[in-house]
Amino acid sequence: MDRWRRLNGEQLELPLVQAVECAIRRELKAGHRLKVCIGTDSQVRAQGIEFATVVVFLREKKGGFMFIHNERLERTMGLRERMITEVGKSVEVAYALCDVLDRYDVALEVHADINTDPAFQSNQALKEAMGYILSMGFVFKAKPDAFASSSCADKVV
C-alpha cells in the first residue's frame, strides 16, 4: 500500500508508517489524546471494484483527520469475498502500524463495513471478519459503530 493521501488530495511524502509516526508526534506535542481507527469500503463499478482504506486519527474532543489509500481491482467477486477483502486490507494496515501505535500508547480499532443485523447481506461475512480481526489481537467494530469504514472510507471510495 504505497500511494496515500490526505482528504484534500495532498499526497503523503513519507511511507505510511513514518507519516503516521510524524502525525502522532505532532498531535501529542500539541497536547491531544489520540485514537486510530482503520477501515475499508468498496464499490462495484463497471470496470471492477474500487477500494478505499482509511487511517482515521481521532483527537479526544477535538475532531480528527485521515489518511486515504484508493485501489482498483479489475475483476469480479461475490459480496462475501469483497467483505473479507475489505477486512484483509484494513488488517494489513493495522498490522503495519501496530508497533508505532503501541510505542506511543495510541489505541487502535479496526472497523468492518459489515452489518450486525442478519437481514442485511453483508452479515454473511460477519463471523469470519470478526474472527480474523480479533485473532490478530485488534479491537473490532462493526456497523453501526464502524464509522471509519461505513462513513469515512465510504465517502472517498
Domains by residue range for the chain, with CATH: 4-156 (3.30.420)
Q: How confident is the model at residue 44 (pLDDT cuts 50, 70, 90)?
A: very high
Q: How confident is the model at residue 124 (pLDDT cuts 50, 70, 90)?
A: confident
Q: How far apart are CA 51 and CA 140, in angstroms?
A: 20
CB 57 within 8 A of CB 36: yes
140-156 pLDDT, tens digit per residue, is 999 999 999 999 999 99
Q: How far apart are CA 105 and CA 117, in angstroms?
A: 33
In this predicted structure, the answer to whether residue 1 has a pLDDT above a threshold of 70 is no
56-66 pLDDT, tens digit per residue, is 999 999 999 99
Q: How far apart are CA 14 and CA 23, in angstroms?
A: 11
Q: How far apart are CA 86 and CA 75, in angstroms?
A: 15
User: Mean of the pLDDT values across residues 118-131?
Assistant: 88
Of residues 55, 36, 38, the one with CA closest to residue 104: 36
In the block, cell 504505497 appears at: 2
Q: pTM value?
A: 0.94
Residue 131 sits at the vertex; the CA angle it makes with 108 and 141, to the nearest 5 degrees, is: 40
Report helix, strand or coil for 152.
helix
CB 90 within 8 A of CB 149: yes
